[in-house]
Structure 1
């Protein structure tokens, strides 16, 4: 960290000599993303950068209101549950795609059938396919969803886990082509894509056919250019020189130092994201894996010092995490078994489990390297011969069942409900799940299968307490979310942690 601070001092001095770019005069907001955007189609990426882009270029049926945190109509006009498994949605009649064509029920039916189709290969096929039985057009502006079971999260799923596409968007010469919308998605949102250079930049402009009474109609900046700048010190220099007006997820030390210069704003905002280590309790990676033993999993929890991690590494508003969800979410509770930092207890549990001299552990991670190195050091200190396998993505080996321990994180699409995180982490038909616990899987599924709020909350509470008792996770931290912004920009981060860049405006 000291090296990074020294580098930042050089960057600050260099930025002071750089000429400011008059982006405001051009009515152009330049945003910096730390990770590559490889597609403009949000159905094919789950990274937060694509979430932010998706809210600019796509409108879903519903939208999570940043004030109430409730799902409100967006492309939808109204809805009715005709029974526990049937949802009828009436569509607005003034929604158009960016090519000018009107959206109809046929487009909505096409979109959801594509999302769940095997040939579509979308990233949300499992999520939507878990509850969607069928969808049909009742008339040109009405669709009927038939669900496999009652599903309390359906309106949230219709807000974030689905995008609407013009019928035929993915067919080229009669063949379903998943990357057909990669370069210029034909969306329905307030901004349209005008240029895309994969991994480098995305250029957007306000769509003049966007309806004026939409919840997103506050969008006012004429153009948004998104640049991929992986180095945060470079981002800092760009913000201070005027080349970039908005960045997010900046390391705390850099953001604070930039704020102190007065050349840009530092804002610490809320985040729904949590970070954790998932352990192979089912023996998917190896039937003889030490992580199958509860005492080993508990030892790995006792071995780490969460307070040191969030204070010395993450910083900012980050907090230790003790449970298998974000505590601000409905249904989450911190009234669970906690594992305080106790390396001696960890060593005793390892010895009791038959590993007095520890064991070899290959630990996989793809983000937050300093945190991963700290975790490995903590485990090594109690005798576990842990080695870090730091990669670009853990998805393929994780989903193939090859990992004994891996780092995961979830922002829950900023949905304030435990139903947004727990099914994808604890229902057994999901590839990332390593618990082998059918009872837990059924309990989590049942929590989303009732519309009774009190019953849902009770079932989620039971589930998270059981997860803590069984130490299926090593919960690590509740993330902070830091922004650097130009001084002439107004942007207030919503409480749910989802950046809504269309809410940015120039100061008057």
Structure 2
């Protein structure tokens, strides 16, 4: 969805936004070579994963290579965001919501020959929730009290308290089932039950997969024999690779300012879909002056989100008023809360004791949207007397060390990719250093009920608390800018969960 800017904004800001958006849009030429073999695919990604085991590290690029390709879960999430059976063919939930009984698929083997059964599933879940676990979503397994394996094809989870989102969480990449023999080495040589096997990883360049000839799910017809993930960070290089045919698809193209250059290309399709990528400028709520809600509200009021979308992502994006996307159940449009109002922002700053503004630093990862957004924000903050210095910060290593783990920052900006992750504001610790018992109570009520209508109402309450309290500046949802060969079919147009699912991908003859 392309966002339209409002009119009547300061020409200085509009000019800055347009200047940032119009970078390097020169015509890219090159003959399109003959298609690769109809059973091979080269798929481009901007960020190379730090490892290949999604159950031990958080970066979404890991799952974008491995989830549903190499690794599978008890359940999965389909292209519409719905939970579907996978290694568990069915399940029953007790009336009190405390017992989940899964019936498992028979005849499933890992790529190394290990047989999948209830004991393997139990070992995988115990690894994810254990005391030494480094699973990025370890907290989602905290509700599990005991894991039973009465027979090889039955798995029973007994919970300490109802967890209304448990099935959904079990579909995430971090909940992938790993083998008992191979788990320790999955970071570099992943072994799963999925439709593709790992072949090789040339760091800095590519990961290669091959179709699994012994794939257990006979209902799935895999039509690709070989898949190569190519890692190309530079947007101009991405565009050139697409134009030349060196890459068949970029499901998440990294240069929105170049998208228009593909729209008249006879061989390439431009597909704009939805994502869960919420671009937010997080503040350190434990550090002055961000510990004062009036200051946070003032900074939010200083921002015209539509101008941010223009400057950061060439007009592609949807402004948001809370940590929630229009795709998510229970979404409430809260962009009118603490809406753009520089004069009111100045008054709030004066009331908070900063009539002459203040100075702070924002740490920006190198992804294009971050420095671009920061430059537009810098000009907007200057209009209310606030000086923001921009400090580039290498991502992920330096950013994770300084911001995410060390909370040594004033403000940062990053796209949060996990779906329905509004609960991050209740985590303690978390890099926002935000604490609000009322917000935590609402989230607890969501998990305590299985009534979806009640859950949606409560999600609305949670969104309203964040929009009013502003622990982070809510900017926009990034679209999925997909560009791929027109003969390539089956890639996901939308992204309910960060992924590159290849199961249904094929070349049209």
Tell me how far 1:62 sits from its aligned partner: 0.6
SS at match of 1:482: strand
- For 1:151 and 1:6, the matched residues in 2 are separated by 47
The worse-fitting range, judged by mean Cα deviation, of 259-268 and 199-208 is: 259-268
Deviation string, structure 1 residues 92-136 (Cα, Å, up to 9, x no partner): 01211111222011111111111122434222223333x223323
Checking the alignment, whether the CA contact within 8 Å between 2:146 and 2:159 is kept in structure 1 is yes
Could you say which residue in structure 2 is the equivalent of 1:273? 277
The question of whether the paired residues in 2 share the 8 Å contact of 1:236 and 1:484 is answered with no
**CA deviation string 1:232-273 (max 9, x = no partner):** 211211112111101132222212212323342221122222
Question: How many residue pairs align between the two structures?
Answer: 479
Mean CA deviation greater in 384-393 or 88-97: 384-393
Distance between the aligned counterparts of 2:22 and 2:373, measured in 1? 18
Uncovered stretches (5+) of structure 2, i.e. residues with no partner:
1-17
Inter-partner Cα distance in structure 1 for 2:263 and 2:37: 20
Shift of 1:333: 1.4
Unmatched tracts of structure 1, length 5 or more: 171-176, 414-419
Deviation digits for residues 467-496 of structure 1 (CA, Å, limit 9, x no counterpart): 212222211001111111123212453444
> 1:34, CA displacement in angstroms?
0.5
Give the drift of 1:399.
3.0
Q: Secondary structure at the match of 2:263?
A: helix
SS at match of 1:402: coil
Distance 2:428 2:149 in 1: 30
2:195 to 175, 190, 198: 190
* Aligned residue in 2 for 1:229: 232
Aligned with 2:416 (options 410, 413, 421): 410
The residue number in structure 2 matching 1:174 is none
Distance (whole Å) between structure 1 residues aligned to residue 22 and residue 267 of structure 2: 17
Checking the alignment, whether the CA contact within 8 Å between 1:427 and 1:441 is kept in structure 2 is yes
The residue aligned with 1:381 is 383
Match of 1:85 in 2: 98
Inter-partner Cα distance in structure 2 for 1:66 and 1:207: 22
Task: With the length of structure 2 as denominator, give the TM-score of the two structures.
Answer: 0.88
State the Cα deviation string for residues 15-61 of structure 1 (Å, max 9, x = none): 23xx6254135x21001110012222122333332222222111111
1:119 aligns with 2:149: no
Is 2:263 the partner of 1:259?
yes
In the other structure, the counterpart of 1:162 is 175
Secondary structure of the corresponding residue to residue 378 of structure 1: helix
Q: Of 73, 86, 102, which residue of structure 2 is paired with 1:74?
A: 86
Distance 1:253 1:218, change over 3 A: farther
TM superposition shift of 1:365: 2.8
Q: How is 1:11-410 mapped onto 2 (pairs within 5 angstroms)?
A: 12-13=28-29, 15-16=30-31, 20=33, 22-25=35-38, 27-53=39-65, 54-67=67-80, 69-82=81-94, 83-129=96-142, 131-160=143-172, 161-170=174-183, 177=184, 180-214=185-219, 217-250=220-253, 251-281=255-285, 283=286, 286=287, 289-315=288-314, 317-334=316-333, 338-366=337-365, 367=367, 368=369, 369-391=371-393, 392-393=395-396, 394-396=399-401, 397-410=403-416
1:379 to partner: Cα distance:
1.6
* 2:4 alignment counterpart: none
The 1-side partners of 2:108 and 2:176 are apart by 14
Distance in 2 (CA, whole Å) between partners of 1:52 and 1:503 is 15
The Cα shift of 1:387 comes to 1.3
Q: Equivalent residue of 1:292, what SS?
A: coil
